[in-house]
Structures are given as structure tokens and as C-alpha cells.
A and B are shown apart, each in its own frame.
Chain A
Amino acid sequence: MSRLELRHVRKAFGRLDVLADISLSVGAGEFVSMLGPSGAGKSTLFQLLTGAQHGEGEMFFDGTPLDDHGRHFAFMPQRDALMPWRRILDNTTLGLEVQGIRRKAARARVAPLFAEFGLAGFERHFPAQLSGGMRQRAALLRTVVQERDMLLLDEPFGALDALTRTAMQRWLEQMWRRHRWTALLITHDVREAVFLSDRIYVLSARPACIVREIKVPLPRPRSLGGADALQTSAIEAEILDILLNPEPNPHSSKGHDHD
């Protein structure tokens, strides 16, 4: 039974076709990634899901049309979107405050999670006083404490250096195993997608459509190297091949129909 289901979703900004035809689904407790070139329209899809933009096509959550925006999703934007003027603790309670929970109660709910997210001792710091990796974990904490039905993560580790990113990916995989969030992750990092996901949708360049759906049957906990290294790299190679040798985009208006 899929929780989120999109059927033939399209979106254009004026004359710019961004999403040509997106159909996808995410099951309960499933970690799904969307992988695609920069500028394909991945963030735009999240804008549609969160109600910031409106497009065509059908979007369902638990079988009912998605019109009551802001109920089902906890959204983590591409940049961490921490408020510079709020201390980390108050940044992480933001979603709860908006839900109408008293500040004190919200803090009590978030505080025990700081250790798990590697932020213990930094509750009273301002975002500018944190490293990039810590900021991303704070943003993630702000997202998951909302306890919504599903996480929407837009390139949560895109801005990090390779080493920190790998550490964060391992950390997130571990967190996911413990909590089993239903999650849709945007990334353009092939290894990240394979490492974290149960399934991967590969998107074409703009106007985006889904060119391939790839299952990742690797056992969890996932590891770098080890017994599954061969299978892992086979999947990664398959995805890279799709991305680097795109079939002609059937939705592209700039076809080669003239001599």
C-alpha cells in the first residue's frame, strides 16, 4: 500500500517546461530517492507537494487527493533554512511551535534528541556558530520532530564536503533503521542514493520525466565495502550509465526534427 502516489504530474513556469510527466509512489516505511541532473526540476516537485506551487496531474496521500497541504509532510529545504536569529534549540522546535505547541512543551520534546543528533551542548548556540554538518543535523532534527507522515529531504548533504557527507549518510542510514520514516530524498549523488534507498527514481534532464525505477535489494545495515560491495557498485554503474548516456528526451521541445 503506497502512502504517496503521483500520477502524471506536470509543471511549467511560464513557457519553461520543468516537470514533463512524473508518476511515482512511496510506500509506508520506505526510503525512496529521486536522482537527477541539476536543474531537472527536483526541488520543483517538492514545491508542488508542499503547496508552494500548483501543477497539473494527480497527487494522492493514503489514497486521498493531496489538497490539504502542510499536513502530511515534514520538509527539509535544499539549504538548511535555519533561522540565523534563533538559537539551535528554538530552530529545532519551530515546526512544533507552528503546530501550536507551547514553547516549553516543544523544548521538552526536542531536548532529549540532541544527543542522538550529535548536537548535545549546542542548544544555546546560534546557527552561525555551528559547522556545516552540525547545521544539517539541526535542520534534520527540526524536520523529524514534527512527526509528520512523511519526510521530504531536498539534498540534505549537498553543501557538505565529501568526508562529512559520507559520515552523515552513515548516520542517517542508522537513524532511519531505528525510526523507519517514510521518506523521499532528492539527491544528485549516486552513491548516496544507493546507500540510503530502498528504491531510486532516475529523472531525465529538464523537462523531467522518470527514465528508470531501480530497486536496491541490498541488506541493511548498509555498509561501504564488505560483502555487498560488488552488487552496490553494479547498481551505481547502472545508474551512472543512465545519467551519462541519456536517451533522447521524448518531452523535450527542442527535438532534432529538422535538417
Chain B
Amino acid sequence: MISVGLLLLAWELYATYSGIKSTTLPAPSRVFEQAMLNREALVDNAIPTIRATLIGFAFSLSAAFALSMLVDFFRPLRRALFPVFIVSQTLPLVAIAPLVVLWFGFGLMPKIMLVALVTFFPMLVALVQGYEATEAEIGQMLRAMGAGRWRVFLLARLPSALPYFFAGLRISITYAVVGAIFAEYAGAAKGLGIYMLNAKNNFRPDLVLAAVGVSAALTLTLFGLTVLLQRLAMPWERAAGQHPAGTGPWR
């Protein structure tokens, strides 16, 4: 928090006293002022971005979850499919985004696809790795109790994957916002991405930065939500931080 404040202060001082033109580097105060003046347009353009982010992410999350289970139950699939996904991760977004827009138009579809493309693989890897992190002894014990594979998955593998899942979620949600903005940058009717592009073309770096501020706020909010969700979903994590009970008969 303090570091962000200091950075803004230094920026403000530099922009004001270095004599640099405000059309090149606007001071934070000007960015804020313009953001306030244009808040309706910003909100109007933020909504499609949020929609694309959430729908695309929900889509990739469901797909990653379904596929992670499939891969967990049929190991050979993993070796067959993973190379494809890894290649999908090496595609440069800059090159892919305009193509996807070209193929699927200016609507919501290409945004969802790009968001899914950048978030799907991290989520899949997180989940698969999470299942693998299940303590071998727990699996052995459950099978000795008479549990089948499905039971072992539900009782042990899925909960074991939760910390990995949330780690993946925190990273992916930030990718998702970037992915949506990139898709809009390549072509959209409305959205923070296209808003930034237009502001840039109109020589309004202050408005570009205002839009950047909005997207940063969006990312932080989503990030905060995942942290909150993790707290709620994993109450034992916080319990572990408390002092262990020391009042048993033998410590």
C-alpha cells in the first residue's frame, strides 16, 4: 500500500515539474480527474469486459474440472492430451487475438474463447497436480476400507487438490482479465480494451491510464474474491495457524 502511494507521489512530482507534456505523461491527479469526468463511459465499457472475463473463466473452469477428472481416471489420456495443451500455451496472444476476432466476429464469443484459452491450462495443471498430491497412505487406507476409485476421488483426491486449485485460481483470474482486454483490443464494439485503443488513437493517454486503473481495480477485486472464497472453503487452513491444543492427557 505504502509502496503504491510513494510510486504515485513520485510520478505526480515528475509529471508536474519535469516539464513533460501532459499529452505524453499525464499526472495521476489528471488521470483521476478525467476518470471521474468520464466515469459513465468507463463503467459502460467495463461491463462487457467483466462479462467476458466471468463467462470465459466459468467456461474454462468447468472444462478444466471435467477434463482433470477424466485425466485422473484414465491416465493414458494425460500423455495424449497434455502436449496439445502445452502447445496452446505457447501461442502468442498478440497473434491469436486478431485471428479469433476475425473468425468469430466482434461479439462475446471470441472474448470468451481467448479468456478460456489463457486460463484453461493453468487450471487443468493445478487440478491434476492437486490430485497427485494426495497422500499415498490415505489412498491405501481408503482402499483397505473398501472404497472404490470414485470414493477415493471424492473423499481424498478432490479435497487434497483444493490448495492447488486456489493457487491456480488466483493466477488464472488475473490472466482472465488480461485475456479479455486483449481480445477487445483486437476488435470489439465495447469494452475496456477497445476503449484503451480509441483513447490512444485520440492522443488521450490520461484516458488510457484511467482504463488501466479500472482494469487493475477489477483484477484486484476478483483476486480478493478468490482469497475470500478460499478462506470459506478451507476453514482448516486457518485452524492450523492457531495454537495446537495442549491440554490432552499426554500433551
| A and B physically associate | yes
Binding site for B on A (CB under 8 A): 47, 50-52, 69-71, 73-79, 81, 83-85, 94-95, 98-99, 118-119, 122, 125-131, 133-134, 146, 152, 163-164, 167-168
Give the residues in chain B near A83, CB-CB below 8 Å: 138, 155-156, 159
Whether, in the assembled complex, B92 has its beta carbon less than 8 Å from a beta carbon of chain A, the answer is no
User: What is the bound-complex CA distance between A199 and B114, given in angstroms?
Assistant: 67
Given contact pairs A52-B143, A98-B146, a sample of 17 additional A-B residue pairs in the complex whose CB atoms are under 8 Å apart = A52-B144, A70-B143, A76-B141, A81-B137, A81-B141, A85-B234, A118-B250, A122-B248, A126-B236, A127-B236, A128-B239, A129-B242, A129-B243, A131-B251, A134-B245, A146-B145, A152-B144
Which chain A residue has the least Cβ–Cβ distance from B248?
Answer: A134
User: What is the bound-complex CA distance between A122 and B244, given in angstroms?
Assistant: 11
Binding site for A on B (CB under 8 A): 135, 137-138, 140-147, 151, 155-156, 159, 162, 234-236, 239-240, 242-246, 248-251
Which chain A residue has the least Cβ–Cβ distance from B162?
Answer: A85
12 residue pairs from A and B, CB less than 8 Å apart: A51-B144, A52-B144, A69-B144, A94-B145, A98-B147, A126-B235, A126-B240, A127-B236, A128-B244, A129-B242, A133-B248, A146-B145
Q: Verify A99–B248 contact, CB threshold 8 A.
A: no
Q: Verify B245–A75 contact, CB threshold 8 A.
A: no
User: What is the bound-complex CA distance between A143 and B27, given in angstroms?
Assistant: 67
Residue from B140, B236, B242, B250 with most neighbouring chain A CB atoms (10 Å): B250
User: What is the bound-complex CA distance between A73 and B141, given in angstroms?
Assistant: 10
Given the contacts A94-B145, A125-B239, A128-B236, A164 and B140 also touching, CB distance less than 8 Å: no
Which chain A residue has the least Cβ–Cβ distance from B145?
Answer: A98
Which chain A residue has the least Cβ–Cβ distance from B241?
Answer: A128
Q: Verify A133–B144 contact, CB threshold 8 A.
A: no
A interface: dominant SS: loop
Q: Verify B140–A52 contact, CB threshold 8 A.
A: yes
User: What is the bound-complex CA distance between A99 and B147, given in angstroms?
Assistant: 8
From B140, B151, B156, B246, contact of A50 by CB (8 A): B140
User: What is the bound-complex CA distance between A74 and B143, given in angstroms?
Assistant: 11
Residue from A73, A75, A164, A168 with most neighbouring chain B CB atoms (10 Å): A75
From A79, A98, A129, A131, contact of B239 by CB (8 A): A129
Give the residues in chain B near A122, CB-CB below 8 Å: 245, 248
From A94, A146, A164, contact of B251 by CB (8 A): A164
User: What is the bound-complex CA distance between A84 and B163, given in angstroms?
Assistant: 12
User: What is the bound-complex CA distance between A81 and B145, given in angstroms?
Assistant: 13
Q: From residue B83, how far is it (CB to closest CB) to chain A in Å?
A: 27
User: What is the bound-complex CA distance between A251 and B91, given in angstroms?
Assistant: 56
Q: Verify A130–B140 contact, CB threshold 8 A.
A: no
Which chain B residue has the least Cβ–Cβ distance from A78?
Answer: B137
Which chain B residue has the least Cβ–Cβ distance from A125?
Answer: B245
Give the residues in chain A near B156, CB-CB below 8 Å: 83
Q: Verify A131–B248 contact, CB threshold 8 A.
A: yes
Give the residues in chain B near A127, CB-CB below 8 Å: 236
Q: Verify B138–A126 contact, CB threshold 8 A.
A: no
Give the residues in chain B near A129, CB-CB below 8 Å: 239-240, 242-245
Which chain B residue has the least Cβ–Cβ distance from A152?
Answer: B144
User: What is the bound-complex CA distance between A95 and B245, given in angstroms?
Assistant: 25
User: What is the bound-complex CA distance between A232 and B128, given in angstroms?
Assistant: 52
Give the residues in chain A near B246, CB-CB below 8 Å: 131
Give the residues in chain A near B242, CB-CB below 8 Å: 129
Leading 10 A-B pairs by shortest Cβ distance: A128-B240, A77-B137, A50-B144, A75-B144, A70-B146, A98-B145, A126-B236, A126-B239, A81-B137, A167-B250
User: What is the bound-complex CA distance between A84 and B145, given in angstroms?
Assistant: 18
User: What is the bound-complex CA distance between A164 and B239, given in angstroms?
Assistant: 24
Give the residues in chain B near A95, CB-CB below 8 Å: 145
Give the residues in chain A near B140, CB-CB below 8 Å: 47, 50, 52, 75, 77
Q: Verify A50–B143 contact, CB threshold 8 A.
A: yes
